[in-house]
Structure 1
Amino acid sequence: MAVAPLSQKEIEDRLAELPGWSLDGGRLTRSYRLGSHFAATALVVHIARIQDELDHHSDLTLGYHSVSLAVQTHSAGGAVTEKDFELARRVEDIAPGHGTH
């Protein structure tokens, strides 16, 4: 099933509902700080599980006390789509449980 790119207005409207997320280089991005490397690693594993459930994967970067995501929809020519926002919302739902700040 093809996924349609979102307009700039649609992206801005959806970003207003996701504090901490932004559009950078045509991709949705977000970084999280955590209390330890172990906590950051656990968040990465949880995000990877969500990505597999959605069959939609971000560039996911593990730092010492941080996790960063960058996502766009390759099947839509690298545009931002509703699939990207669905992933972002799911990550936002689980991030506080890992002690993000």
Structure 2
Amino acid sequence: MPTEPLSQKDVEDRLAELPGWSLDGDRITRTYRLDSHFAATALVVHIAQTQEELDHHSDLTLGHHTVALAVHTHDADGAVTAKDFELARRVEELAAGHRAT
């Protein structure tokens, strides 16, 4: 059964609770900055573990000192859903533990 897309207002309301996250087209996005490439790589590994636990995966990009995510729900025709915000919330918790800004 497909996941239901959120309304534009629901997306905006939920984004207000996640500083640093924004809507970019049909995805919610965030880029984190870390102290080193190694630290960024460690965060990527932890995000990947969480994505496996949730069975919900983002576009995840590792940069020199950065980690970027773009999240939407494939089984909702690429719309933003509650699943995306659950992943974003979990990533925020991980990022704080890695001292990502």
TM-score normalised by the chain length of structure 2: 0.98
Task: Quote the Cα distance in structure 1 between the aligned partners of 2:74 and 2:7.
Answer: 16
Query: Which residue in the other structure is 2:89 paired with?
Result: 89
Name the SS of the counterpart of 1:68 in structure 2: strand
Q: Percent identity?
A: 75
TM-score normalised by the chain length of structure 1: 0.98
1:8-87 correspondence to structure 2 within 5 Å: 8-87=8-87
Task: Quote the Cα distance in structure 2 between the aligned partners of 1:97 and 1:4.
Answer: 31
* Structure 1 unaligned regions, length at least 5: none
Name the SS of the counterpart of 2:18 in structure 1: coil
* Structure 2 unaligned regions, length at least 5: none
Contact 1:54 1:87 in 2 (8 A): yes
